[in-house]
Structure 1
């Protein structure tokens, strides 16, 4: 069964989402960290379309395949820095927000590594990819 094509039916909605993407391109988070966030959230949300898109982008930006392979097990992997671990923990808690919100422990770990401006940027990356994931999964985007 074909599902609604929001981009075609409601292009203004997609224009707004692309506005968020344009903003995300202005952050000072670099290229690697946002792609790790986007890939991890997409893994949690089961969004094959976004996993493929963001692992490809990560590789094109110089990310190592080995780290992408280990991303779903980042807690046990030695391949991620403490800074990345803090962001991945925040990504998981924001993506699974109904479980218990964002804990003080996770938020405090992020504060150890990032400025308030960067934390706001990280949260916007997480929120935006979660919105994209939900749209792609709900509409069976291929």
Structure 2
């Protein structure tokens, strides 16, 4: 169960435009948004940043979601893994590719460019950060500087979300929970503290 309760959406009609924009992008209004709403300036600032970072630009939107899923998995955030994988599928990611995302180094479904991006994402999600000069040089062989900034912005964006949702023990909403249970659980994903009724003290 969450360590700080999200506010009811219906109690915040003045932020409905923000909620609709977030819901349109993700297919669901995350409980994390409704928890941030206890400090509306934080919620609105993050919603704007997230919209810019995750928008399709020089980097394909599906690849951004895969980067987000890998960095979240490396950081240990089951909540963000569920959300990012679910959104990746909604945006057209191949289900087989999503299921094999942790085999990106060897699986033929992944291109050399995707491998370079996901390698940096995996290293960046670890503590201490494990991204090497060689990893970045390989990334820069496939992406120009503007695209590298986009990719690292996704990683940094989820650094915030991973810590927010794991610290708050944000409860997963029904649709990403169902999707992750059906598609990620057999690959080792577990909702853990992000389920209703899960104890929140200790580890």
TM-score, normalisation: structure 2:
0.64
Q: Distance in 2 between matches of 1:89 and 1:131?
A: 20
* Partner-residue secondary structure (3-state), 2:101: helix
CA contact (8 A) 1:70 1:77 kept: yes
Instruction: Specify the alignment match of 1:3 in structure 2.
Output: 3
The corresponding residue for 1:132 is 161
State whether residues 75 and 85 of structure 1, in contact with CA within 8 Å, keep that contact through their aligned partners in structure 2. Answer: yes
Q: Per the alignment, in what secondary structure is the counterpart of residue 98 of structure 1? A: coil
Which whole-Å deviations, capped at 9, do the CAs of 1:90-136 have from their partners, x for residues lacking one? 11122225154x31100100110111111111100110012111101
Query: Which of 59, 70, 86 does residue 56 from structure 1 map onto?
Result: 86
Q: 1:77 to 1:21 in 2, by over 3 A?
A: same
CA distance in 2: counterparts of 1:46 and 1:103, whole angstroms? 20
CA distance in 1, matches of 2:128, 2:122: 11
List aligned pairs for 1:1-142, cutoff 5 A: 2-4=2-4, 5=6, 6-24=35-53, 25=55, 27-96=57-126, 98-100=128-130, 102-142=131-171
Secondary structure class of the residue paired with 1:63: coil
Q: Distance in 1 between matches of 2:155 and 2:2?
A: 28
Q: CA RMSD in A?
A: 1.7
The change in CA–CA distance for 1:104 and 1:65 in structure 2 (over 3 A counts) is same
* Structure 2 gaps, min length 5: 7-34, 172-203
Aligned residues: 141
CA distance 1:67–1:16, change in 2 (3 Å) = same
CA distance in 2: counterparts of 1:138 and 1:82, whole angstroms = 34
> Which has more radius of gyration?
2
Question: Is the deviation greater in 121-130 or in 8-17?
Answer: 8-17
- 3-state SS, counterpart of residue 78 of structure 1: coil
Higher mean displacement: 21-30 or 73-82 = 21-30
Question: Displacement of 1:18 after TM fit?
Answer: 1.2
Cα distance in structure 2, aligned partners of 1:26 and 1:38: 14
Q: Does structure 1 conserve the Cα–Cα contact (< 8 Å) formed by 2:113 and 2:142?
A: yes
Q: Distance in 2 between matches of 1:26 and 1:99?
A: 26
| Structure 1 unaligned blocks of 5 or more | none
